[in-house]
Amino acid sequence: MNAEKKIYTTDFLVIGSGIAGLSFALKTANHFKDASITIITKNEKNECNTKYAQGGISTVWDTTVDSFEQHIEDTLIAGDGLCDKEIVKMVVEAAPNRLQELINWGTNFDKTQNGNYSLGREGGHSQDRILHHKDITGAEIERALIEQVEKTKNITFLTYHYAIDLITEHQVTKKQITRKEKTTCFGAYVLDQQKNSVKTFVAKVTMLASGGNGQVYSTTTNPVIATGDGIAMAYRAKAEISDVEFIQFHPTALYNPGEYPAFLISEAVRGEGAILRDFEGNRFMHNYDKREELASRDIVARAIDNELKKSGAPHVYLDCTHINFGAFKKHFPNITEKCLSLGIDVKKDFIPVSPAQHYICGGVNINKKAKTSIKNLYASGEVTKSGLHGANRLASNSLLEGIVFSHNAFDNLCKRFHKIKMPNNVPEWNDSGVVKNMENILITHDRNEVKTIMSNYVGIVRSNERLLRAEKRLLNLYEDNKRLYDHSELSVDLCELRNLITTAYLITQFSKNRKENKGGFYNADLIKKEL
């Protein structure tokens, strides 16, 4: 490890450069002109789940055909009774203003020939209400936000800076803190991956916007950065966490063995009329839900899982052959091209698809102001449990959640930032007594083991026995990894492994404790619910 050690102070420390982190940084920087804002991100500027978002962002845009009430109702139905109604109402009603800000920042959403925004449809939505940029909406949002951030003088944007742990009283007083005690966040310890040194970032306000954790599963649509760091860091800092058992599996990832992460075939394709067929070519969704292909995601994913278990086939098919090809290609150029690169011509061939982990509905508890249970630690986006999604997120409500809660955090800070003092006496990172880890292969093995355990035992359909097995194996991995972590020189691989094990364990524990099947959570040993 590089001997250079430094303490850096910044007014706002933003962990993550997806939609939640960037939109928060921009708002605060533009309002608090004299304040310093530091964004740290562990990879390239735009490498995050946001970049891969396809379908778009839901909002009630055309009030002649749609209404807040309908978007609220669709969100509540998808959430299967566990959404916070007040939060759902707040988010849905805030959506048009937040979308307008994205547009003002330069995001281009597709328009129809008459100049109105083109509104797409996805599963669980009773109206067309998804603003999109072709089938690469997230990449377009990242482009626009990063361009704005780069023009903003009081933002420092540090790539390949990996947050290891949040700093709270635990590090300052060196005393163990219990989950019941009130704590404050003073910033974070951050590994500068290029200099190989740990920097201490002391901040008045820390915004945790570190995204999801798809990498705990063998098959996921999430990029490799999605390792649950934020949930694990917050958990170690004793923040309140909930609902992490509600893992959303996307029904239609492209079945292409060996490709990792899985390429997504957007739900908007079903919104355009695509049909699911089993391995023999027969339709099946009418056996599961009267909304058929446009039932909410938990229902469609479980239906496909059931079909695959019955038939033993590796995938089902998505049939787009009846859809006007010109219109299809215009809306989905990336999907059309990807399929063609694999010899699948969507005009005449069915697309092989199967479910893949896609999203985590729970996470770090926040209130409507995006405050966590730790003072001066805010959180926004996929890392959180805000109450919007309940047991199953409605399609295209996630990007929306990120911009709404980042705005709310900003709004709250307008009232209280001037009262927050820069923390002092924060100790530097201590890495005495560690040695260079010679066997990176152990980390790779353990990472693969976590994925196998979670996919085998904590997948779409769980059982008491499966959860017990997962718990036992994850505890073993935790012990082995703890030894490695306490004595080895830090690396991103090692830290990510620690966080993967922690989030996998939390998902398993919360699953064991859940006594009713709801939304994306299904334990076959609990009272049976209609598939």
In angstroms, give the least distance from the CB of 13 to ligand FAD: 10
Given ligand FAD, ligand SIN, none, residue 188, with its beta carbon under 5 to 8 Å by kind, binds: none
Residue closest to 158 by CA, chosen among 212, 194, 210: 194
* 297 included as an active-site residue: yes
Piece of the chain touching ligand FAD by CB under 6 A; list 87-95, 322-330, 375-383, 478-486: 375-383
In the complex, minimum distance from the CB of residue 355 to ligand SIN, in angstroms, rounded to a whole number: 12
- Kindly tell me the burial class for residue 63, based on how many C-beta atoms sit within 10 Å of its own C-beta (0-12, 13-18, 19 or more): exposed
Query: Which does residue 28 bind out of ligand SIN, ligand FAD, none, counting CB within 5 to 8 angstroms by kind?
Result: none
Least distance between ligand FAD and beta carbon 245 (Å): 17
Which helix (DSSP H) or strand (DSSP E) does residue 208 occupy?
strand 197-208
Distance CA 294, CA 76 (A): 16
Give whole-number Cα distances, 377 to 15, 29, 34, 244, in Å.
11, 18, 21, 20
Of 333-372, binders to ligand FAD (CB under 6 A) are 359
Give the nearer residue to ligand FAD in terms of CB position, either 90 or 467. 90
Residues 392-451 that bind ligand SIN (CB under 6 A): 395-396, 398
Instruction: Decide: is 210 part of the binding site for ligand SIN (CB under 6 A).
Output: no
Please list, in sequence order, all residues whose beta carbon lies within 8 angstroms of the beta carbon of residue 134, skipping any fewer than 6 positions away.
110, 330, 331, 332, 333, 334
Go through 315-326 and write b for each residue having 16 or more CB atoms within 10 A of its CB, e for each that does not. Answer: bbbbbbeebeee
- With CB under 6 A, what is the number of residues at the site for ligand SIN? 9
Angstrom distance (rounded) from CA 364 to CA 383:
6
Of the candidate residues 107, 118, 200, 266, the single one contacting ligand SIN (CB under 6 A): 266
* Residue indicated by tokens 């089902």: 316
Catalytic choice (129, 270, 297, 498) = 297
Binding to ligand FAD (CB under 6 A): which residues in 396-425?
Answer: 396-399, 402
- Tell me the residue ranges of DSSP E strands in 383-443: 384-385
Smallest gap from Cβ 81 to ligand SIN, in A, equals 20
Nearest to ligand SIN of 274, 395 (CB atom)? 395
Least gap, CB of 269 to ligand SIN (angstroms): 8
Residue 431 CB, shortest distance to ligand SIN, in Å, is 39
- Note whether 267 binds ligand SIN by CB under 6 A: yes
How many Å apart are CA 495 and CA 474, to the nearest integer?
A: 16
- Residue 74 near ligand SIN by CB under 6 A: no
Give which of ligand SIN, ligand FAD, none residue 215 binds (C-beta under 5 to 8 Å, depending on kind).
Answer: none
Strand arrangement, sheet containing 130-131 = 57-58, 130-131, 119-120
Distances (CA, A) of 517 to 390, 404, 420, 512: 13, 29, 43, 12
Bridge partners (DSSP) listed for residue 319: 275
User: Using the rule CB under 6 A, is 43 a contact of ligand FAD?
Assistant: yes
Phi, psi of 234 (to 5 degrees): -65, -40
* Sequence-separated (6 or more) residues with CB below 8 Å from residue 63: none
Q: Which does 307 bind (CB under 5 to 8 A by kind): ligand SIN, ligand FAD, none?
A: none
User: Per CB under 6 A, which region of 15-23, 278-286, 322-330, 331-339 contacts ligand FAD?
Assistant: 15-23
In angstroms, the CA 131 to CA 175 distance is 49
Which among 383, 361, 312 has a CA at the least distance from the CA of 511?
Answer: 361
Which tokens sit at 525? 């040993």
Instruction: Tell which one of 38, 75, 107, 137 touches ligand FAD (CB under 6 A).
Output: 137
Contact track, ligand SIN, 12-51, x by CB under 6 A: ----------------------------------------
Q: Which residue is nearest to ligand SIN (CB)?
A: 55
Cβ 40 to ligand FAD, closest distance in Å?
5
Question: What would the two tokens of residue 492 be?
Answer: 């991103």
Q: What region does 390 belong to: left with phi over 0, alpha with psi -120 to 50, or beta?
A: left
How far is residue 288's CA from residue 509's CA, in Å, rounded to a whole number? 29
Q: What residues line the site for ligand FAD (CB under 6 A)?
A: 15-21, 40-43, 47-50, 52-57, 137-138, 162-163, 209-212, 221-222, 225, 229-230, 264, 359, 381-383, 396-399, 402
Q: What residues line the site for ligand SIN (CB under 6 A)?
A: 54-55, 264, 266-268, 395-396, 398
* Active site residues per annotation: 297
